[in-house]
Copies of this chain bind each other. A is one copy, B any other.
Amino acid sequence: MTAPGRLTIKDVARAAGVHPATASRALDPRLPGRISAATTERVVRAAAALGYVVDPVGRSLRTKRSATVGVLVPDLLNPFYPPLLRGIERALRASGFEALIASTDNDVQREGELLDVLKGRRCDGYLVASATRRDPAVHHLVRGGSPVVLVNRLTGVAAPSVTSDDALGIRAAVEHLRDLGHTTIAHVTGPPRISVTATREKAFRAAVRAARLSPGPVVRAAEYTAAAGEKACGTLLDRSAVTAILAGNDMIAVGCYAAFDKRGIACPRDVSLVGINDMPLAEWLRPSLTTVAIPQEELGAAAARLIVTLIGDPATEVPDVSLPTTLVVRGSTAPAPRAAPPSA
């Protein structure tokens, strides 16, 4: 077997007895009646018979389109992102696009470098899930005129976004805890440089007020990681008697579990805990984690559809998308203990 030598549009044209340009047109589904039905049929048949697949490189050079979307996530190792990527990948591929995925490791500088690499690859658009509140690289990208959709995290820039309505689920979580008899709820929040941190904290305060509960202590985890969550939760527990905690996300909740263990606090008997995300392993934690579920895959899919629309026509007025969240009640929440919980 010699080198196969990939088929070109010329081969198809020859087989169908037409000019290459005609063959190209016949294979373009966007051209409605521009080619006679008979010719189209002949070309399509020939292409199928030969197994012709268009060469994306030649096409790109000509059309200035790469059918490629750059995707920036902050941390591949955070279980929140794989489902998001799954949604993005599937939806993009359904529209004939490929994703170039890059993980910034929560490093603003690296984000800039990766964006340069992706720009070098001539992506048609970008999905940015790594934005921080002040994010020069993303601002620059948007100002440069590239189609951009922000996912999950916002930054002060005029780009459409796909986010989850965290307030909805957080309200449900607070009401759930109140109904269980908790009178004070603490919050282990995340780093302030990320927009969702503020969104969630604000939603938490509003929900507590609406539920006529007394606002509990709020401590800040330096990162959305289990280690940072454990540390923050530890200071919380050592400082105040707490019966209920809303964690900034599920990874922080994982850290809270560890902090409980170290202090001999039983969850949910002594303290109830609610996370945010419903990451893949949340239901397998012990106790299984009650959490505000974010539709991670749908978030990704919606963002992908948006960027494809925007690439097709950058002038489109696409609306911001906000997907509802729901409270998933599992084993980490229980009625408030009668006696005071063990305190330092």
A residues within 8 Å of B by Cβ?
Answer: 3-4, 53-58, 60-61, 66, 76-77, 79, 81-83, 85-86, 89, 93, 98-103, 117, 119-122, 144-145, 226, 254-255, 257-258, 261, 280-281, 284-286
Inter-subunit contact B60/A57 (CB<8 Å) = yes
**Which residue from B54, B79, B122 sits with its C-beta under 8 Å from A57?**
B122
Bound together, the chains give a CA A82 to CA B79 distance in angstroms of 9
Inter-subunit contact B76/A85 (CB<8 Å) = yes
Bound together, the chains give a CA A323 to CA B39 distance in angstroms of 57
Q: List 19 A-B contacts (CB under 8 A).
A: A53-B120, A56-B122, A57-B60, A57-B122, A76-B83, A76-B85, A79-B79, A82-B82, A89-B101, A89-B102, A93-B117, A98-B100, A98-B117, A226-B284, A254-B281, A257-B286, A258-B286, A281-B281, A286-B286
Closest to A71 in B: B101
Inter-subunit contact B55/A122 (CB<8 Å) = yes
**Which residue from B55, B60, B86, B122 sits with its C-beta under 8 Å from A77?**
B86
Inter-subunit contact B286/A79 (CB<8 Å) = no
**Which residue from B61, B76, B83 sits with its C-beta under 8 Å from A61?**
B61
Nearest chain B CB to A115 CB, angstrom units: 12
Inter-subunit contact A56/B120 (CB<8 Å) = yes
**A57 touching B53 in the complex, CB below 8 Å, given contacts A79-B281, A101-B89:** no
**A121 touching B103 in the complex, CB below 8 Å, given contacts A77-B83, A226-B284:** no
Chain B residues contacting A83 (CB-CB under 8 Å) are 76-77
Inter-subunit contact B144/A4 (CB<8 Å) = yes
Most chain B CB atoms below 10 A, which of A60, A144, A284: A284
Bound together, the chains give a CA A60 to CA B62 distance in angstroms of 13
Closest to A100 in B: B98
Nearest chain B CB to A227 CB, angstrom units: 9
Closest to A117 in B: B93
**A99 touching B98 in the complex, CB below 8 Å, given contacts A79-B281, A281-B281, A286-B258:** no
Bound together, the chains give a CA A255 to CA B122 distance in angstroms of 44
Extra contacts besides A57-B60, A77-B280 (18): CB < 8 Å: A3-B145, A4-B144, A54-B120, A56-B121, A57-B57, A57-B66, A57-B122, A61-B61, A76-B86, A77-B82, A79-B280, A93-B117, A99-B101, A254-B281, A255-B284, A257-B286, A258-B284, A286-B286
Bound together, the chains give a CA A56 to CA B122 distance in angstroms of 8
Bound together, the chains give a CA A99 to CA B83 distance in angstroms of 18
